[in-house]
Structure 1
Amino acid sequence: MARTMSPEEYLELGKIHYNQKQYERAVEAFTNGIEAATIPSIGLYDHRAASYAKLNDLKSAVKDGREMIKLDKMNVKGYLRTGSVLEKMNKLETAIGIYRYGMKHVSMENKSFKLLRRLHDEFTRKLSPAKAVDPFTVFPPELIEMVISYFTFKDIVNCHRVCKDWRTYLINNSKLWIDLDLSGARKDVSRIFVRNALYRSKYHIERATIHRFKHFDVLLSLATACRDVLTQLEFISGPVNVDRIVEVVQCAQNLKELIYRDNISLDAVAHIMHRGKSLERVEFTSIAASRSDAVWKGKFPKLDTLVLNGPTNGAPRALNTTSLTMQTPALRVLTLTNWSGGGNFSEPLDFSRLSLEKLTLTKYNFQVFPALPPTLTHLILEPAYGLYVPAGQNDNSSPWTRLCWRNILNSHLPALRHLSLSNFVALSPSFFSLLLETRTNDNKDPEVLDCYTLSTMTTLHHLSIRNSTFSADRHHGPFSTEGILGPLRILSPSLQCLTYASMMCSDDDVEELVHPLLNLEAIDLSNTNITGAGVKMLADGLPKLAQLNVDGCSRISSRDAIDYAEKKGIRVSWRMKQTGGGGRKVRYG
């Protein structure tokens, strides 16, 4: 039947049928109007969707509602019609999605935008559990405190913005503010925030981490107000004002730990330490280069841990290590990186009078092996330049040789568990034997034990030797009984981690180390001459092996051995060095 009316006339006819509750005839009229129109109007789809809803044909009604949205995403009618039909179909989650989509496209200036948001929030509440309540209002205070104890300071700051009840609870709990941690700050922290935190802690801040905070007057007020309780202070970044930092350290009369991670001069370090008489742990991780050595004004009777990292660029700078260590009688942990001084013939390094437990000298320019205390449990030595180790007292028979040998003789380490050596020249079996197994008598006879026996010594758990060479008279493999690492305290079942990187090591050497090291869990043989056969020997012979590093081992020709080890549950790192040139760079592993 030919259509003789316009879309507008069909719309009016459909409305008449709808008002007379003749919904099927209304659907027919609206359909004729849609088909007669080049571009159907929103009104035709809207009224047909309403008619379908009256006929309980909800799927067709939703389809028309979606057509309305496609025609005009800025018109709120399509979202409202579709959402109302979806509500009748009990598809509230889909309706929420429709309303959310509408709020992205409908202008906030539209009068119906608030209606969209209200319906969205209303449906969201309907989907919430019937008994959903704020946990802060029903949980016991002990349980809430237990949960909040896992929050970081940044989490606490974010949570106190959730609602009024949370804010009130968090602000009134002073224990949550005793650890002022600004390490997560993304922009400069205002003085008001720190003052509020001080007030909320009831002037009882015990630990403070300063980052992106420029107001030293507020920091000084904090140190003064918390002078008896502030024990830990860490600076991550901020303007260097030595005088103000000294004032802060002086005001915090019970300050025990000071960590400074920003650039600072060595003179400033000495000045700060001089004023911090109560300090037990001091770390300066980025000390800038200076023209002269600092003057250490001590003593520091309570200092237990000291970390001084020198400038990362350039040659090691001067540090009066002897003067510093003479004023730290209680020092147990010492780390010095990229320094020079107290390591030459005229003034050798001597730590024997201290009760050190951990000593780390990395990129340190010392020319004579240091005198070490017997209390050491961890020792890491990495000279800035290759350090020659004499094979005996008569080696070259020079004063330098005799001094170096005497320090080795006097540096017996019965409690050592962790040993790391790098950049040594001419290591010998006698060096390891004297250092780890024997304590010579007054006649300096290395064959005579004095005071210690193997049964009273601890065994090594970690051994690392890198970028070093052995004495020319070595005739045995390093892992044999007569070899460099032959002493019983080294190649023992107690050894758990072995690093033997950038050394002369082949499959024959690997075969010798497998049998005595049954409890080895991690091994690093990077940049050595082992092949795939050596990898398989390690995988088969070390039942507890979990990590294996064979980076740069160019004699491993394929992944077969790597896959074999990985099937046994071993994590293997195998990467080849990238070489220069115009060819394609390939990374394996």
Structure 2
Amino acid sequence: MVFQNLAMRDKMICLAVSKSWNNFLECTKTLWTTLYTSRACQPISLKALEQYLKRSDSTVDNALLHLESFADKANMEYLTNTCHRLTDLRIHGEGTLSQSQAAFLATAKGIQKLHLSQDTQVTCQTMVFISDICRQTLKEAKFLHVKEKEIRAVTSWPRMNALTSIHMDFVGFCALNLSKLIEATPKIRSAAINNCQSHETSRLDMTPWPNLERLVLTKTKIYYFPKLPPGLKHLILDGSCNLYPSSIDDDNSIFSLPLLETFSFQDNNIDIPQIFAITESCIRANNLKIIRLGGIAIPYPSDNSLCDYFPASSTVEELSMEELDMWDEDATEIIKLYPSLKKIDLSNTQITKATVMELVDRGVESIIINDCDKVYSNTVKMARAKGVYVSYKFIDDTDSTSGERES
């Protein structure tokens, strides 16, 4: 019901509509199990909070709290002390959540999901502190703005046996000991770590994460291709790992990923044989669905054509070749390798109308050609007229699906 998603202040306003409406809302306790505080409703008095929680019999299980709510420590402690069913806590609002503000979580007994938004900053120390006090119950953690002004290293983690998903986005100077994180979180199924440095100087062994299905390391530098569990389904290492024979040892098992559905290796240096080695088992098993190799460094001059970098697959449905030095001849040859293709990103390449119409004729449903200055608006209109989604914009455009330019 829409009412459940209203901010606390708006729910109070609804009570004043009429007496019958007030009675209905007051008696329907399930409408009050979500608590949402916005900046507009700050500050909140303890009396107002008590009345709100009383309407649900203190069964609030989901809370989206503005950062300014934490200015009143007594209110937050009352919330966690009273609502023992609170399992999903999300914090939003521009500013920094300090360690002292986060201390109220020590009284929460069952937090399973904890999300901090992109505009809510924490330091590395506060992130580890929060993880520690919620370690017994926490299953899903998102810290989307971890910021340090000086170089800071996270070398230890609390043991979190319940944690299955972690997402950390860093700003500034932070390095992680990923081996220690892996050791402390044995049940991880999904891990996303962005814009960070790694302490590892040898190959990272991720097989102690036997349940890992999704790994995202974006601009998180590791020096060697990691040893991965064979059950991995989604591997995204954009801007994180160069792949040359010198970065690979004789252990061929690190490439045994038969369940892999997504392989994204954009903005890296890569050697052709290694691409085929990584994808060979999942292609043979007919599992690979997505390949993204945009922005890879191609040696020049080279005896290899661009097509040589792309392994053929009858099951691939999505392909990214953005920011490659690619012309129509390259694009059409590569497209032939993927008869099931439905979505393609050719942004910032040299393709023309010929490639776009080839894709339309092949039944591709979505084409992204942003910053392709050799494709003109009349070609885009023809593709859209045939029911194809086309994203066509330039750096100075604001409409992500139009970007109309005349030839």
TM-score, shorter chain, exceeding 0.5:
yes
Which of the two has greater helix per residue? Answer: 1
Shift of 1:499: 1.2
Partner Cα distance (2:238, 2:81) in 1: 42
Among 497, 509, 533, the residue aligned to 2:330? 509
Which residue of 1 is the match for residue 258 of structure 2?
Answer: 414
Which residue of 2 is the match for residue 495 of structure 1?
Answer: 316
Larger radius of gyration: 1
Shift of 1:265: 0.9
* Runs of at least 5 residues in structure 2 that lack an aligned partner in the other structure: 398-402
Among 286, 289, 294, the residue aligned to 1:461? 289
1:101-140 alignment, distance < 5 Å: none
Among 168, 174, 177, the residue aligned to 1:320? 177
1:56-205 alignment, distance < 5 Å: 148=1, 152-154=5-7, 156-182=11-37, 184-191=38-45, 192-205=47-60
Name the TM-score, length of structure 1 as normaliser: 0.61
Equivalent pair of 1:308/1:337 in contact (CA under 8 Å) = yes
How far does the alpha carbon of each residue in 1:538-589 deviate from its partner, in whole angstroms, 9 at most, with x for none? Answer: 111x22x222111222333x4343232222111223334559xxxxxx9727
How many pairs were matched up? 390
Name the TM-score, length of structure 2 as normaliser: 0.87
Partner Cα distance (1:160, 1:406) in 2: 69
Which secondary structure state, in structure 1, belongs to the residue aligned with residue 163 of structure 2?
A: coil
Partner Cα distance (2:108, 2:286) in 1: 41
Structure-2 change in CA distance of 1:426 and 1:260 (3 Å): closer
How far does the alpha carbon of each residue in 1:362-412 deviate from its partner, in whole angstroms, 9 at most, with x for none? Answer: 11122222222211111111235xx4322x4xxxxxxxx2x5344775232
Which residue of 2 is the match for residue 265 of structure 1?
Answer: 123
RMSD between aligned alpha carbons? 2.7
Shift of 1:336: 0.6
Which secondary structure state, in structure 1, belongs to the residue aligned with residue 248 of structure 2?
A: helix
Structure-2 change in CA distance of 1:569 and 1:318 (3 Å): same
Which secondary structure state, in structure 1, belongs to the residue aligned with residue 20 of structure 2?
A: helix
Partner Cα distance (1:203, 1:170) in 2: 16
Partner Cα distance (1:297, 1:560) in 2: 56
Which residue of 1 is the match for residue 229 of structure 2?
Answer: 373
Which residue of 2 is the match for residue 470 of structure 1?
Answer: 298
Among 184, 196, 213, the residue aligned to 1:357? 213
Which residue of 1 is the match for residue 147 of structure 2?
Answer: 288
1:165-564 alignment, distance < 5 Å: 165-182=20-37, 184-191=38-45, 192-211=47-66, 212-213=68-69, 214-227=71-84, 229-237=85-93, 240-246=97-103, 248-261=104-117, 262-276=120-134, 277-289=136-148, 290-311=150-171, 314=172, 316-343=173-200, 346-355=201-210, 356-383=212-239, 387-390=241-244, 392=245, 401=246, 403-406=247-250, 410-428=254-272, 430-438=273-281, 454=284, 457-470=285-298, 475=303, 477-479=305-307, 483-487=308-312, 491-492=313-314, 494-540=315-361, 542-543=362-363, 545-556=364-375, 558-564=376-382
Shift of 1:226: 1.8
**Seq. identity, %:** 21
Which secondary structure state, in structure 1, belongs to the residue aligned with residue 167 of structure 2?
A: strand
Tell me which moved more, 188-197 or 465-474: 465-474
Structure-2 change in CA distance of 1:347 and 1:202 (3 Å): same
Equivalent pair of 2:154/2:174 in contact (CA under 8 Å) = no
Q: Would you identify which runs of 4 or more consecutive aligned residues in structure 1 move more than 6 Å?
A: none
Structure-2 change in CA distance of 1:339 and 1:509 (3 Å): same
Structure-2 change in CA distance of 1:217 and 1:550 (3 Å): same
Which secondary structure state, in structure 1, belongs to the residue aligned with residue 57 of structure 2?
A: coil
Structure-2 change in CA distance of 1:239 and 1:504 (3 Å): closer
* Runs of at least 5 residues in structure 1 that lack an aligned partner in the other structure: 1-147, 393-400, 439-451, 580-585
Equivalent pair of 1:300/1:327 in contact (CA under 8 Å) = yes
Equivalent pair of 2:392/2:404 in contact (CA under 8 Å) = no
Partner Cα distance (2:360, 2:193) in 1: 37
Letter in 2 for 1:539: V
Structure-2 change in CA distance of 1:461 and 1:161 (3 Å): farther
Which residue of 1 is the match for residue 400 of structure 2?
Answer: none
